[in-house]
Amino acid sequence: MRLLHTSDWHLGRTLHGVNLHEAQSAVLERICELVEDPPDGVPVDAVVVAGDVYDRGVPPVESVQLFEWTLSRLSQVTTVVVTSGNHDSAIRLGYGAGLFRDTIRMITDISMIDLPVLLDGSDGVRAAIYGIPYLDVDHARSALARGGDLLPRSHQAVVGAACERIREDLAARPGVRSLVVAHAFVAGAEPSDSERSIAVGGVDRVAGTVFEGIDYAALGHLHGPQAPECAEGSVVRYSGSPLRYSFSEQDHTKCVLLVDLPATGPAVVTPIEIQQPRAMATLRGTLDDLLADPAHAPHEDAWVRATLTDRVRPDSLMDRLKSRFPHVLQVFHEPDAKVERGVRGTTAVSERDPRELGSDFIAYVTKAEASEGEITRFVEGYEAAVKAQALAEAQEVA
């Protein structure tokens, strides 16, 4: 049996104010093409989406339409199983689940955890696909409790309880391979800057051993593809997001995972790279260097984060950078020659020598030692302001 594992589409998200709808459409087009025309000709029996379909509970109309288009296209050639993530509104995402055709399965309700999607692969392998939607701890510790006692207030407790129910159902299905689609933070995995914290009481992680007895755990939530530690006999993977959502992800190779689940033995996972619609680059140097250095030519069409090291912040900085890098998104000014300034005591500003005051002010603004010319200009301005104030006071008295 072959499955395609993806997650964290975050439809409706922006990148430093830039609408990503076009970029998201491009990567979803690529996913549809992979399913319609697999690289090795082996058909994909199911696509699993492990949560965070949308970036917020009430997504933009164009994002809903994009999801509908993708779901309709995929479901014509395979079965699609979707769970909700912490960014989704589970109720909104799951609306219409009871009306969809058999090739569209939305698992967004906690009561559906131990009700698998039973699937027969093109090679005769039978699998049970279980969905664990993102579990809000305060709700799940009651909904998944047994015997009247609340579960401990932790992700470990509620995800563990969900997996226990799945194992109980599996016990009555001998010979059936198992797959769990879950949205959680497994200990040992590495987050990036674009994920929303799910910490409760300061703890947001679960142990990979909670998936013991499960053949394959298709995880969502973390945006980098990775394989956290898990129980022996299980395979646990994050597919990561198919699109880069922060500069902390600029070195990620974005992908989807093709998962081959044989009749016996461990799942075999093959990453398939998703070409990014636009590259990302972090650049550092003086403005003149960034604008002239031919080494930066490959980044001219990338989303750029630039750090300028000029001693003084250049005028019209963003406009000048955009003349070469039209997709620059972030600009920082961090002069290389920083001046460490000590505490000058508690002398009132009005009582300090204007040269000393000007030197400190210029060093604070430019992060560099003030030149003699800059101090002179500051003193001239200071003296002119003092004279103007004295003249104004004299006129008031008169």
Tell me the per-residue pLDDT of 272-328, one tens digit each, with 9 for 90 and over. Answer: 999 999 999 999 999 999 999 999 999 999 999 999 999 888 888 999 999 999 999
User: Which amino acid, one-letter code, is at 251?
Assistant: D
* CA distances from residue 64 to 10, 101, 176, 199 in whole angstroms, order as listed: 11, 19, 35, 28
Quote the pLDDT of residue 225: 95
Amino acid at residue number 163 = C
Mean pLDDT over each residue of the chain, to the nearest integer = 89
DSSP notation for 221-282: S-SS-B-----TT-EEEE---SS--SGGGTT---EEEEEE--SSS--EEEEEE---SS-EEE
pLDDT at 199: 60
Strand pairing class (2-6; 255-260): antiparallel
pLDDT at position 355, please?
Answer: 78
- State residue 76's pLDDT score: 95
- Give, in words, the CATH class of 278-336: alpha beta
Cα 185 from Cα 165, distance rounded (Å): 20
- What integer pLDDT is reported at residue 342 of this predicted model? 47
| pLDDT tens digits, one per residue of 121-179 | 989 999 999 999 999 999 999 999 988 789 999 999 999 999 999 999 999 999 999 99
What pLDDT is recorded for position 343? Answer: 45
One-letter amino acid for residue 62 of the chain = E
Q: For position 394, what pLDDT does the model report? A: 64
Say whether 236 sits in a helix, a strand or coil: strand
Residue 261 confidence (pLDDT): 96
CA distance 221 to 200: 15
Distances (CA, A) of 189 to 116, 128, 211, 230: 27, 26, 15, 11
Q: Determine phi and psi for 381, rounding to 5 degrees.
A: -65, -40
Query: Which residues on neighbouring strands pair with residue 322, listed in sequence order?
Result: none
Q: How far apart are the first and last CA of the chain?
A: 96
- Are the beta carbons of 272 and 253 closer than 8 angstroms? no
Residue with tokens 């490959």: 298
Domain boundaries, the chain: 2-273, 278-336, 338-398
- Cα–chain-centroid distance for residue 105? 25
Q: Identical fold at 2-273 and 278-336? A: no
Q: At the top level of CATH, which class does the domain 2-273 belong to? A: alpha beta
For the chain, helix, strand, coil in percent to 5 are: 30, 20, 45
CA angle 154–160–164, rounded 5-degree value: 150
- Whether the pTM exceeds 0.95: the reply is no
C-beta of residue 274 within 8 angstroms of C-beta of residue 254: yes
In the chain, which residues have pLDDT < 70?
195-203, 337-352, 364, 366-368, 393-394, 396-398
